[in-house]
Amino acid sequence: MQFILKMILSAIAVVVLAKILPGVGVDSYISALIVAVVLSVLNAIVKPLLIILTLPVTIITLGLFLLVINAAIILIADHFVSGFGVSGWLWALIFSVLLSVFQSILYSILKKDKN
């Protein structure tokens, strides 16, 4: 139940960010839900591999390269989901940062309601 609620909250964040950012678009709520699921799968499988492969660069940049990895994950999701579009690296970077902020706020509200 917790996973489904997190996916719905992530989909809401995707829709809100698509309305705010001109370089990001989502066709429907179903597409936003699919984007949330694809992002969670990519973050669970691909992101750890990318972090391990780019560990020296991540260490040299004091972790700032993780922002580039997050943008790459967004662009990979853009490739897989047909109703979701990102105009380029900069928009993917902005979208990933704002999505992380929105998700942390929404998940913290979810944890407060649980207690």
- The pTM of the whole model exceeds 0.85: yes
The average confidence (pLDDT) of the chain is 92
**Residues 6 or more apart in contact with residue 16 via CB below 8 angstroms:** 102
Q: Is the dihedral of CA 22, 24, 25, 26 positive or negative?
A: negative
Question: Domain containing 12: what range?
Answer: 2-114
One-letter amino acid at 5 equals: L
Q: How many domains does the chain have?
A: 1
- Phi, psi of 106, rounded to the nearest 5 degrees: -65, -40
| Length reported for the chain | 115
pLDDT of the residue at 113 = 67
What are 88-91's contacts with CB under 8 Å, separation 24+?
A: 88/23, 90/23, 91/21, 91/23, 91/24
How does residue 110 score in pLDDT terms, banded at 50, 70 and 90? confident
How does residue 115 score in pLDDT terms, banded at 50, 70 and 90? low
Question: Which bin fits 62, alpha (ψ -120 to 50), beta or left (φ > 0)?
Answer: left
